[in-house]
Amino acid sequence: MKQFILRSAPDESGIVRLSGADYHYLARVRRFTVGTVFNALLPNGETARIRVRAVNGDRLEGERVTDAGSALMQPMAIPLISLFQALPKGTKMDLIVRQAVECGVADIVPFTSAYSVPKIADDKDRIARWERIVREARQQSGSSTATVVHAPLSFDGLVQHWNTMQEQYGDGVKGIMLHPLEAQASLVSFHACLEHSDTCKSIALAVGPEGGFSPSEAARFTAAGFTALTLGNTILRTETAAVYAIAAVRIILLERASWILNSSTRQ
């Protein structure tokens, strides 16, 4: 466990009291005892070190000993990444959510597309499961990004969500659609698409289900301002394509200073 996410902040004395599932995880699963010190992420985004000072019955009590400071890696400033994921078959969405959280994605927006087998349903249990996965993945990976997983949208709902993002960020938002046929026609690379990412505030990645996007969906993404890109000439599973694309974007964003410098040097 890289960090433990506290549901509430320590009190004025720096004391936290954990019960229920949180107590079970720390005391029974992790087997924390008096004196154990662990990294914690507070509700306001701050990090701290917590020392266990009592384990009684069904409650664990800890005290804040210091800010985590260098104990937890501070995130680099890069644009927020949103994943627009068409619902895949079975439980693949669970894996996609976990991997996206570990990669530091800010928003996960599931939606139904023409080739999606699952359809939208008022499934509160499924959404609650995704929220648990988000919390577990953040604790395991140490991600400081407060990932939000949305309830599934229709394709029209997704377009409206994108319009809202454009209203919020203006020219600072960029959309990328994974679609091999459209990408081969445009011949745009990830580097070229993200060349001016220093002025970008948010990037949305749209990934299709098994079978990809329909021609009409691809056309609507293009009309909405998305750039079509491809991940090579191999056919990837949708869960592989999602994490592959997120990783490609993050690496380019994290290393943009070096590759922009090298590009300028060659010129």
Read off the pLDDT of residues 196-223 as tens digits, 9 standing for 90 and up. Answer: 777 789 999 999 998 889 999 999 999 9
Average pLDDT over residues 28-42: 92
- Residue 111 — very low, low, confident or very high, per pLDDT cuts 50/70/90? very high
- Residue 49 — very low, low, confident or very high, per pLDDT cuts 50/70/90? very high
- 112 and 9 in one domain? no
- What's the token pair of residue 20? 């229920």
State the pLDDT at residue 142.
Answer: 86
Using alpha carbons only, how large is the chain's radius of gyration in Å?
Answer: 21
Q: Any bridge partners for residue 80, and if so which?
A: 202
> Is the Cβ–Cβ distance between 204 and 176 less than 8 Å?
yes
267 located within any domain: no
CATH code, domain carrying 220: 3.40.1280.10
> Is the Cβ–Cβ distance between 47 and 68 less than 8 Å?
yes
State the pLDDT at residue 129.
Answer: 93
Place of tokens 């090579």: 232
According to DSSP, residue 26 is labeled I
- 162 and 51 in one domain? no
Q: Count other Cβ atoms within 10 Å, centred on residue 46.
A: 12
- Residue ending a domain, among 25, 50, 71, is 71
- What's the token pair of residue 155? 């394709």
State the residue range of the domain holding 183.
80-259
Rounded-to-integer distance, Cα 40 and Cα 139, Å: 9
Q: E strands of the chain, at which residues? A: 4-5, 15-19, 37-41, 47-56, 59-67, 80-86, 107-111, 148-149, 173-178, 202-207, 226-229
